[in-house]
Amino acid sequence: MHLALLMRSEKERLVVKMTVSKEIAKKVERLNEIEAEAGKLRAELHAELGDYFDGCYMNGYYIADEPCGDEQHGGEYCEQYTGYICDSGSGTYFFPIEDSKKYLAVQYDF
């Protein structure tokens, strides 16, 4: 990264001019591509799981070795917290992954 400082004598104001390397620009382009792909994947997951979480905002996904919370049905688990008034809260729902001992964890808010 190159940084050049210029002084304006009339108002004694400091002006900063900066250029970045091509490598940094390429990293930003790659990051934008990854974020666009992540957005598409989130939309697909929402389409596939959205009916299960009607009225909730799904805000995160990860693969868990073990579930947390209370067992539901079919080997699913849920760990949920409610707000002070009990009309809002958040949680993580754990779905068993077929032919695996791991779980898909879906984080949500309501």
For residue range 44-88, list pLDDT tens digits in order.
999 999 888 988 899 999 999 999 999 998 899 999 998 877 778
Q: Please determine, for residue 26, whether its predicted confidence score (pLDDT) is greater than 80.
A: yes
- Indicate the DSSP class of residue 73: S
User: How confident is the model at residue 102, as a pLDDT?
Assistant: 98
Contact 103, 67 (CB under 8 A): yes
- Domain boundaries of the chain, sorted by first residue: 1-54, 55-110
- In this model, does residue 42 exceed pLDDT 90? yes
Q: What is the mean pLDDT of residues 92-101?
A: 97
